Structure 1
Amino acid sequence: MEAPMQVSILGTGLMGSPMAIRLRRAGYPLTVWNRTSGKTAPAVEAGARFAATAAEAVAGADVVLVILENGPVVERVLFEDGVAGALAPGAVLVDMSSISPEAARLHHDRLAALGVAHLDAPVSGGPGGAEDGTLAIMVGGEEATFAKARDLLGVMGRPTLVGPPGSGQLAKLCSQILSATAIGALSEVFVLARRYGADPAMVRQALRGGFAESRVLEVHGDRMLRRDFEPGGHVRTFVKDLRTAMTIAQGQNLSLPLAELAYDLFARFERSGGGDSDISGLLQQTEGGSVPSL
């Protein structure tokens, strides 16, 4: 009988924790590490093994999932905290963080030189999608590596191999642009409805199922109506991704006016103190104190 795949997760925050719990429920032997060790508690309670250091966590792992805050943090953990050197040749590292495509390609090449396979596989769907196993998982890398990790990723959502290294991160940036423009438009729709005297909740209900239907209308529309701005996705992280998308567009001599406007709106919200809000909190800026709160 083939030995079960040994899996490690580096990062058990808003996304990593529910992903770890799903993997344990699916029967995968799992080791977890997080810089703030207390955040590993839910995964450990689900049967995961706690590791005191990132390097300890990946020792002997067949597949390592990384879901950390940003590119510099991923770089530091992989190449300064001893993870790359502790990975066994033949292991697969799946970076599910949101970092730049260029950084993903560089990490791929540096790990390949050590005999370690790499996929960039950022996700969309928020903590709820991580809990339900319905994440959109956008993957960049080689087909053979994707084949090794596909079933494991399938426990957490719907993995799609987009293209070569870095392609998963590019797809995530496209997702962020679409989400940003939709959330901005939705906040304006709700403010317009309220100003005209219509009930925003009933407007949303009327739109459901038509061409305006979307996960943004479903999930973030509900959050806006309930004024629940506790972060499922932080504005500061969203702005970081949009900034990366704008940099790439500029490098390609592309003008993306809607994306630029959405970036400006969210960047202004972050500067005004909204960085720790959920992205649906943009509604507060759109209201601008000029209309009654929803």
Structure 2
Amino acid sequence: MNKKSIAVLGIGFMGFPMARRLCEAGFDVHVWNRSRDKAERVAASGATVHGSAADAARSAGIVVSMLENGAVVADVLFNQGVAEAMEAGSLFIDMASIKPREARDHAARLGAIGVQHLDAPVSGGTVGAEQGKLVVMVGGKPADFARAADVFAVFGRATLVGPHGAGQLTKLANQMIVGITIGAVAESLLLCEKGGADMAKVREAITGGFADSRILQVHGQRMVERDFAPRARMSVQLKDMRNALSTAEEIGFAAPITALFEKLYADGIEHGLADLDHSGLFVELASRNGMS
């Protein structure tokens, strides 16, 4: 089995630049996507496009998935033949954002047939994927993490945070912070605008102080410009908040702040904002205050 042979399942906003970077790094890349035309885009970089996920997986010693959610990952693995197609000793790296218990279940089921597993969700968005500056949060065995080091190096900075499921737990923490901070930035900027201040200047003034953050810098700028073209959708942010609440309930942890923001994102989606960037929570909060 050639470690340099990598399959990438899911060629969307994130999967496309990640697969392209693997091609540029010299890996033998095999790709599959439910909509074949999206997978075909990577062919120009040297990837081989397959008609099924199982065929792509059969061609590789390491399979990377960047799929929508846990149900889709399970379906592709166990109903569409990927697990069966993978040889004993091969490695499945799940980079989708799913529930920790789903990751643990997938790891156990794959382990029973001799296939290794890492849950390795990412943060950094499409810009991070394009630039190879993603943060990769990994759960699994140290030996498998070491085996995947050269793959992770193409994507960005990877950290092994614990056993199976720990990568997904860390991603939930990341998404809780992101989702809540987006709301804090949006509400604060709107308050200032409502009170007569220049929103752009307010953002400029507090950048560099204790309130500064990547969210203020990046998403705050989107709010100032009213640029809500989707990089990470409102619907995906809601999924992450709900996964966090579900996990909190499973382990007996109270998460009242996350619950509040889950409701805000859900209300925004109910009001037609599902396909906006998650910084589009700004639009929901603006509408509550009679602001455009």
Structure 1 segments (4+ residues) deviating >6 Å: none
1:101 equivalenced with 2:100 (yes/no): yes
The 8 Å contact of residues 194 and 291 in structure 1, kept in 2 or not, is answered as: no
Match of 1:220? 219
Match of 1:61? 60
Return the offset for 1:252.
Answer: 2.6
Instruction: Provide Cα deviations, 1:187-240, integer angstroms capped at 9, x if missing partner.
Output: 101101111111111111112222112111111111111212111111112111
User: How far apart in 1 are the matches of 2:192 and 2:180?
Assistant: 18
Return the offset for 1:289.
Answer: 6.0
1:191 equivalenced with 2:190 (yes/no): yes
Match of 2:16? 17
The residue identity in structure 2 corresponding to 1:53 is S
Return the offset for 1:292.
Answer: 4.4
Return the offset for 1:251.
Answer: 2.5
The residue identity in structure 1 corresponding to 2:208 is G
Instruction: Provide Cα deviations, 1:132-170, integer angstroms capped at 9, x if missing partner.
Output: 111111100000000000121111111110100000000
Distance of aligned partners of 1:106 and 1:292 in 2 relative to their CA distance in 1, 3 Å threshold? closer
The 8 Å contact of residues 191 and 291 in structure 1, kept in 2 or not, is answered as: no
Name the stretch that deviates more: 28-37 or 207-216: 207-216
The 8 Å contact of residues 181 and 259 in structure 1, kept in 2 or not, is answered as: yes
The 8 Å contact of residues 127 and 232 in structure 1, kept in 2 or not, is answered as: yes
Return the offset for 1:113.
Answer: 1.1
Provide the secondary structure at the position in 2 that maps to 1:159. Answer: strand
User: How far apart in 1 are the matches of 2:209 and 2:156?
Assistant: 26
User: How far apart in 2 are the matches of 1:291 and 1:26?
Assistant: 50
Instruction: Provide Cα deviations, 1:60-91, integer angstroms capped at 9, x if missing partner.
Output: 31111001001111110000001001001111
RMSD: 1.4
The residue identity in structure 1 corresponding to 2:283 is Q
User: How far apart in 2 are the matches of 1:144 and 1:289?
Assistant: 51
Residue correspondences, number: 292
Match of 2:145? 146
The 8 Å contact of residues 125 and 134 in structure 2, kept in 1 or not, is answered as: yes
The 8 Å contact of residues 21 and 42 in structure 1, kept in 2 or not, is answered as: no
Return the offset for 1:27.
Answer: 1.2
User: How far apart in 2 are the matches of 1:264 and 1:117?
Assistant: 37
User: How far apart in 2 are the matches of 1:3 and 1:51?
Assistant: 18
Provide the secondary structure at the position in 2 that maps to 1:288. Answer: helix
The 8 Å contact of residues 2 and 60 in structure 2, kept in 1 or not, is answered as: no
Provide the secondary structure at the position in 2 that maps to 1:155. Answer: helix
Provide the secondary structure at the position in 2 that maps to 1:229. Answer: coil
Match of 2:129? 130
1:76 equivalenced with 2:75 (yes/no): yes
Return the offset for 1:3.
Answer: 5.8
User: How far apart in 1 are the matches of 2:47 and 2:273?
Assistant: 34
User: How far apart in 2 are the matches of 1:255 and 1:120?
Assistant: 25
The 8 Å contact of residues 186 and 282 in structure 2, kept in 1 or not, is answered as: yes
The 8 Å contact of residues 60 and 88 in structure 1, kept in 2 or not, is answered as: no
The residue identity in structure 1 corresponding to 2:272 is G
The residue identity in structure 2 corresponding to 1:201 is A
Return the offset for 1:41.
Answer: 2.7
User: How far apart in 1 are the matches of 2:210 and 2:40?
Assistant: 42
The 8 Å contact of residues 99 and 247 in structure 2, kept in 1 or not, is answered as: no
User: How far apart in 1 are the matches of 2:254 and 2:55?
Assistant: 46
Return the offset for 1:42.
Answer: 2.5
Match of 2:160? 161
Match of 2:210? 211
The 8 Å contact of residues 3 and 61 in structure 2, kept in 1 or not, is answered as: no
User: How far apart in 2 are the matches of 1:250 and 1:110?
Assistant: 24
